[in-house]
Amino acid sequence: EEGKSLNFIEHIIENDLKEGFSKDELRFRFPPEPNGYLHIGHASSICLNFGLGEKYNAPVNLRFDDTNPAKEEQQFVDAIKRDVEWLGYQWDQERYASDYFEQLYKWAIELIKLGKAYVDSQSSEEIAAQKGTPTSPGQESPYRNRSVEENLELFEQMKNGDFKEGEHVLRAKIDMKASNMLMRDPIMYRILHKPHHRTNNDWCIYPMYDWTHGESDYIEQVSHSFCTLEFAMHRELYDWFLNQVYTPSKVKPKQREFARRNLSHTVVSKRKLLRLVEQGVVNGWDDPRMPTISGLRRRGYTPESIKNFANTIGIAKRDNLIDVSLLEFHAREDLNKKAPRIMGVLNPLKLIITNYPENQEELVEAENNPEEEVLTYREVPFSREIYIEQEDFREEANRKFFRLKLGGEVRLKNAYIIKAEKAVKDEHGNIVEVHCSYDPLSKSGSGTLESQRKVKGTLHWVSIKHAIEVEVREYDRLFTVAEPDRQGDKDFLEFLNPESLKITKGYIEPSVATAKVGDHFQFQRLGYFNIDPDSTKDKLVFNKTVGLRDTWAK
Ligand code: ATP
Ligand code: MG
Ligand code: MG
């Protein structure tokens, strides 16, 4: 933290503190609508708000913005809580906008009594037609000057369920000539005969976002309410609504805006992600190809990799696109420290070490992770028949091919130096196995002169009779273009990558047999993988999180 320059949000807070705002009154909130799962864009907002909470030792509420019963569900509430917790953040209070329906209703009645709100009985089309344009004033509703008594009675009837959806709305009486269109008598309530996931059938009128958000911030005494740029124009209305209820002894929340974060080769919008789920393009919200927090977790991302990503890109004042490779970079960087190394072969080629005794086997010692402060080791079985990667062998190759070729030598990682003697082929000319000889004195770590002999290539391998067969799921980008939802009038679903999932078999060393769902590994020379919840006792399933930047340098 030290020496890090402040971002513009921190500047706003520092300024307020300088001008006398008490540090003890700082309070933040993260306000998701429970209409889908959190995505990588939300991670920016979570890291911003909870990061400020940590920095200023201030409470942060988790507030569900649940004012639209048509789209919100308990399963989304549960998923959101799980994801915020998994990222490692703890909220002060768990709140719901629906907790405030009664208070909001009472305040609305106050506004009616003050002549600042009225029931409009026009259709939504009529209301829209009167809005005007940014350069021409709107038209006042014929119901704008209803008496307070009539408004109170109609509003109560709305609440009691006496009307159908769309028959009436409650509007704030502000200014139909305002240059900010949002100030032209915005709607505060609409009738919705839909059960709510928390209030069930208690209400059939629901408050609109603008009427709800600022007042909720006020009730919770949130000092700084950060939202994304599309709400910049709403700030004037946010303040207007607050001013109707504000008492000077209390904190008046301050809305400030920051840029949405977009990620390349995907879509970060719950509405669009919902389409992918509903149309079966992916296998649910936590499909490892999804940019959701739960998808990234299942893919093998760690909380730290996501937080480091969010904190590195920081917050901005203008919308921009972040390349997904930056997210991948942070996965590699964190997993490099944490993921134990193992050997696994994905495209096996059988190799027989002809001078290794048939019934012999032995254990070789392998380092678990060179990044560990205190190195630890495991034992890996070695025997006469092993698998290597198909691409690690060629009959002939030029001098730059540092892997195995006929007549050439390589070291088998943690084991012996071998030499390829013969390639055995099937009737189509495909190589089915390679016969090799080994140098019995060259075992890694044995201290002999031969063990220190330098050969150019080092290959990973598994002993065939000890290997575990596993399912491996390799992922590619879900979309073929960087901005699938910005392709003119084309739908983003037209840009799906048909090869975003490839399922293969792999063979891995037996040390992994006891691993658990979610455990991370580096398959040496191949990438980072983790164990998928689809795994069963009989079959482990691995997700490829991300490839390695480099193979072994040697
Ligand atoms: P979506 O379009 O995906 O539904 P939203 O903004 O409607 O996004 P909310 O659940 O209302 O989703 O978002 C909760 C908080 O997260 C809000 O403060 C919102 O501004 C912020 N947020 C949402 N998406 C992003 C993003 N891509 N980048 C940064 N912050 C975001
Ligand atoms: Mg929202
Ligand atoms: Mg939304």
State the average pLDDT over residues 57-80: 98
Q: Is 477:502 a contact under the CB 8 Å cutoff?
A: no
Residue found under tokens 């009985």: 121
If one residue of 225, 228, 290 were mutated to test the ligand 1 pocket, choosing by the most ligand atoms within 8 A of its CB, it would be 228
pLDDT of residue 462 exceeding 60: yes
* Ligand 2 centroid from CA 492, angstroms: 21
pLDDT of residue 200 exceeding 70: yes
The pLDDT of residue 149 is 98
* Ligand 1 centroid from CA 39, angstroms: 9
| Atom 10 of ligand 1, nearest CA residue | 32
Residue found under tokens 């389409």: 275
The pLDDT of residue 553 is 41
Structure tokens at 104: 């909001």
Query: Cα angle vertex 451, ends 447, 457, to 5°?
Result: 145
Domain(s) labelled CATH 3.40.50.620 in the chain stretch across: 8-262
The pLDDT of residue 71 is 96
Of the ligands numbered here, which is closest to the C-alpha atom of 45? 1
The pLDDT of residue 229 is 97
- 173 an active-site residue? no
- Percentage of the chain lying above the pLDDT 70 cut: 99
Q: How far apart are CA 66 and CA 213, in angstroms?
A: 10
Q: Which of 36, 554, 11, 539 is CA-nearest to residue 292? A: 36
Structure tokens at 546: 């991300």
- Residue 262 Cα: closest atom of ligand 1: 27
Strands (E), 103-210: 117-120, 169-172, 187-191, 205-207
Q: Which residues pair with 28 in a beta bridge?
A: 60
Q: Is 478:289 a contact under the CB 8 Å cutoff?
A: yes
Q: How far apart are CA 481 and CA 101, in angstroms?
A: 43
Contacts of 257 (CB under 8 A, 6+ apart): 226, 227, 228, 229, 231, 232, 235
Q: Which residues pair with 348 in a beta bridge?
A: 389
Identify the weakest region by mean pLDDT among 2-6, 89-93, 469-473.
Answer: 2-6
ipTM topping 0.90: yes
pLDDT of residue 275 exceeding 80: yes
pLDDT of residue 550 exceeding 70: no
pLDDT of residue 552 exceeding 50: no
Q: Which of 281, 269, 236 is CA-nearest to residue 494? A: 281
User: Out of 29, 198, 235, 260, which one is annotated catalytic?
Assistant: 260
* Ligand 3 centroid from CA 269, angstroms: 7
- The kind and range of the H/E element at 112 are helix 101-113
pLDDT of residue 483 exceeding 70: yes
- Residue 36 Cα: closest atom of ligand 1: 4
Residue type at 409 in one-letter notation: E
User: Out of 33, 304, 379, 421, which one is annotated catalytic?
Assistant: 33
The pLDDT of residue 5 is 85
To 10 degrees, the CA torsion angle through 514, 515, 521, 523? 40
Report pLDDT digits (tens) over 214-235.
Answer: 999 999 999 999 999 999 999 9
State the average pLDDT over residues 356-383: 97
Report pLDDT digits (tens) over 484-496.
Answer: 999 999 999 999 9
Q: What is the 3-state secondary structure (H, E, C) of 346-370?
A: CCEEEEEECCCCCCCEEEEEEECCC
Q: Which of 513, 355, 315 is CA-nearest to residue 436? A: 355
Q: What does pTM read for this prediction? A: 0.95
Contacts of 410 (CB under 8 A, 6+ apart): 392, 402, 403, 404, 417, 418, 455, 456, 457, 458, 459
- Residue 260 Cα: closest atom of ligand 1: 28
Contacts of 215 (CB under 8 A, 6+ apart): 100, 103, 104, 107, 241, 242, 245
| Atom 7 of ligand 1, nearest CA residue | 33
* Ligand 3 centroid from CA 390, angstroms: 48
* Ligand 2 centroid from CA 513, angstroms: 44
The pLDDT of residue 549 is 77
Q: How far apart are CA 61 and CA 486, in angstroms?
A: 34
Q: Is 509:462 a contact under the CB 8 Å cutoff?
A: yes
Q: What is the DSSP letter of 403?
A: S
- 144 an active-site residue? no
Report pLDDT digits (tens) over 22-46.
Answer: 999 999 999 999 999 999 999 999 9
* Ligand 1 centroid from CA 187, angstroms: 22
b/e sequence 441-458, b meaning 16+ C-beta within 10 Å = ebbbeeeeeebeeebebb
Identify the weakest region by mean pLDDT among 80-94, 236-250, 352-366, 439-453.
Answer: 439-453
Output the ligand 1 site: residues, CB below 6 A. 31-33, 41-42, 44-45, 65, 227-228, 260-261, 268-271
Domain(s) labelled CATH 2.40.240.10 in the chain stretch across: 349-465
Positive or negative torsion for Cα 439, 445, 446, 450: positive
Q: How far apart are CA 456 and CA 325, in angstroms?
A: 31
The pLDDT of residue 512 is 95
Residues 349-465, CATH architecture: Beta Barrel (2.40)
CB atoms within 10 A of CB 431: 15
State the average pLDDT over residues 50-70: 98
Q: Is 199:220 a contact under the CB 8 Å cutoff?
A: no
Identify the weakest region by mean pLDDT among 493-507, 519-533, 539-553.
Answer: 539-553
| Atom 27 of ligand 1, nearest CA residue | 41
- Residue 44 Cα: closest atom of ligand 1: 29
Report pLDDT digits (tens) over 80-116.
Answer: 999 999 999 999 999 999 999 999 999 999 999 999 9
| Atom 4 of ligand 1, nearest CA residue | 270
Residue found under tokens 């391998």: 461
Residue type at 284 in one-letter notation: G
| Atom 13 of ligand 1, nearest CA residue | 32
| Atom 8 of ligand 1, nearest CA residue | 269
Q: Which of 505, 509, 547, 502 is CA-nearest to residue 529? A: 547
User: Out of 270, 297, 307, 544, which one is annotated catalytic?
Assistant: 270
Q: How far apart are CA 232 and CA 255, in angstroms?
A: 9
- Residue 270 Cα: closest atom of ligand 1: 3
Average pLDDT taken over every residue of the chain: 96
- CATH for 8-262 (3.40.50.620, 3.40.50.1820, 3.40.430.10, 3.40.470.10): 3.40.50.620
- Per-residue confidence band for 374, with pLDDT thresholds at 50, 70 and 90: very high
Report pLDDT digits (tens) over 514-527.
Answer: 899 999 999 999 99
Q: How far apart are CA 208 and CA 210, in angstroms?
A: 6
- Per-residue confidence band for 3, with pLDDT thresholds at 50, 70 and 90: low
pLDDT of residue 446 exceeding 80: yes
Residue type at 94 in one-letter notation: E
* Ligand 1 centroid from CA 268, angstroms: 9
pLDDT of residue 551 exceeding 60: no
CB atoms within 10 A of CB 400: 6
- 54 an active-site residue? no
Q: Is 480:402 a contact under the CB 8 Å cutoff?
A: no
Q: How far apart are CA 44 and CA 50, in angstroms?
A: 10
Contacts of 300 (CB under 8 A, 6+ apart): 288, 331, 335, 520, 528, 529, 530, 543, 544, 545, 546
